[in-house]
Amino acid sequence: MKNPVKTILGLGILAVLCFYGWRYQTQGILFDESGISGQFETILDDVLDRNGVGESDVLKTQRREIKKDVPLPTLWIETERSVRLSPTIVLNDIIQALERSGIPLKMKVLSRNSRSGSTIVELGKKKNQVFQRIIFLTSGKKQSPSAQGRGGAVTIVIDDLAGRLSDIENLEKFFALNVPITYAVLPQEKMSRAISEKIHANGQEIILHQPMEPEDIQHNDPGGATLLVSMSEPEIQSRLKKNLQSVPYALGISNHMGSRFTADEKAMKIFLNSLKAFSKSNPLREDLFFFDSRTSPKSVARKTSLSLRVPYQVNDIFLDDQDDLATIKKQIQQLKKEVRRKGHGIAIGHIQRGHLLQALSETIPEFHKEGIEFVPLSQLIRSPQ
């Protein structure tokens, strides 16, 4: 005897097959996702709007119909828009909001690529199915630092954050200087995450201050998060990953100590390849850069970054190796000379030093007077060509 449930089920399946067959015959596709494309676009409009990107900041919008096997023949609308980003908006915040908003529709951030003056973010279901491409134009970033202020651009990096409990309080005083500063946060410390959150909430830039093996490790042990030249590739990879996870929002990595490690070509190659691998698997951390603190004149960071195509930059000057006001001010004058000479300059200071803050607050007006602009480190990073 025939089972009526089976019959109905059979007819149902047949109807569905007929529908898809008809669609495939007439339109050449099996799935039509143009509806969901529109839905997603509306959601993103809303997210951009809520994050301070108004209608007038959207310079161009283009939509095109895509028919592609992904792997089955599917139709959807790909929207590309160019968006102007004012300097007060934190790109990472927007990207994270975009990512969250896509979850109900199973959309995610597929890639994030920074070029000179722009960051391109792609969102969609999978690598070969992009629904939304947003080109954030970040006003001449990275291209010609000297054109940024009349008199050039200067970056201050404050090192060794999260090492001491007092760092959180001191941070407030640096925020009060009211110029963009980049903060290098030590990983795996009790306060690494809280400090990173605080810096991020204040709209300032963060890098991971990665401890690396120094020449005299017997007297200067940089602790358990350190990369050593004797480590294997998997060891370096997993330690770096753990460290990056403990410092959220980090856009790049600098070395803490590391006079031995940064001078070792084999170790640096493994490290930079691990950095690239991490970047690749984390769209929100794409384009992580390496900033060489330059603790050794024998550093091979420049050479290896170039050959492995890792965005790179190097420190020009340490401000407070000697912690007295007159010396620090002298170093700051040296930094200004550097800016005049090549259009930009980068200096490292330390959160715990007693006189740095005063020296900076007394000299920052001089930079302004000469038309030198303070910029976060990411704006001076050289992208591999």
Question: Applying CB under 5 A, which residues contact Zn ion?
Answer: 159-160, 256
Min dist. Cβ of residue 385 to Zn ion (A):
30
Query: Considering beta carbons, is residue 124 or 252 the nearer one to Zn ion?
Result: 252
Nearest approach, Cβ of 157 to Zn ion (angstroms)?
10
Mapping DSSP onto H, E and C, the string for the chain reads: CCCHHHHHHHHHHHHHHHHHHHHHHHHCCCEECHHHHHHHHHHHHHHHHHCCCCHHHEEEEEEEEEEEECCCEEEEEEEEEEEECCCCCCHHHHHHHHHHHHHHHCCEEEEEEEECCEEEEEEEEECCEEEEEEEEECCCCCCCHHHCCCCCEEEEEEEEECCCCCHHHHHHHHHCCCCCCEEEECCCCCCHHHHHHHHHHCCCEEEEEEEECCCCCCCCCCCCCCECCCCCHHHHHHHHHHHHHHCCCCCEEEEEECCCHHHCHHHHHHHHHHHHHHHHHCHHHCCCEEEECCCCCCCCHHHHHHHCCCCEEECCEECCCCCCHHHHHHHHHHHHHHHHHHCEEEEEEECCCCCHHHHHHHHHHHHHHCCCEECCHHHHCECCC
**Residue (of 291, 283, 213, 278) closest to 252 by Cα position:** 291
Write down the least CB distance from residue 213 to Zn ion, Å.
13
Q: In this complex, which beta carbon is closest to Zn ion, that of residue 133 or of residue 256?
A: 256
Q: Which two tokens stand for residue 152?
A: 């050039």
Q: How far is the CB of 170 from Zn ion (least distance, A)?
A: 15
Residue 88: burial class (beta carbons within 10 Å; 0-12, 13-18, 19+):
exposed
- CB 166 to Zn ion: min, Å: 16
Pick the closer one to Zn ion by CB: 95 or 357. 357
167 contacts 191 by C-beta, under 8 angstroms? yes
Pick 284 or 314: Cβ nearer Zn ion: 314
**Smallest separation, CB 382 to Zn ion (Å):** 22
Minimum CB–partner distance for residue 244 and Zn ion (Å)? 17
The residue nearest Zn ion at its CB is 256
Distance CA 156, CA 370 (A): 17
CB of 340 to Zn ion, least distance (A): 27
| Cβ nearer to Zn ion, comparing 103 with 165 | 165
In the bound state with Zn ion, the residue whose beta carbon lies nearer, of 33 and 159, is 159
| Nearer Cβ to Zn ion (107/184) | 184
* Cβ 247 to Zn ion shortest distance, Å: 13
Cβ closest to Zn ion, residue 198 vs residue 350 = 350
Nearer of residues 134 and 199 to Zn ion, judged by Cβ: 199
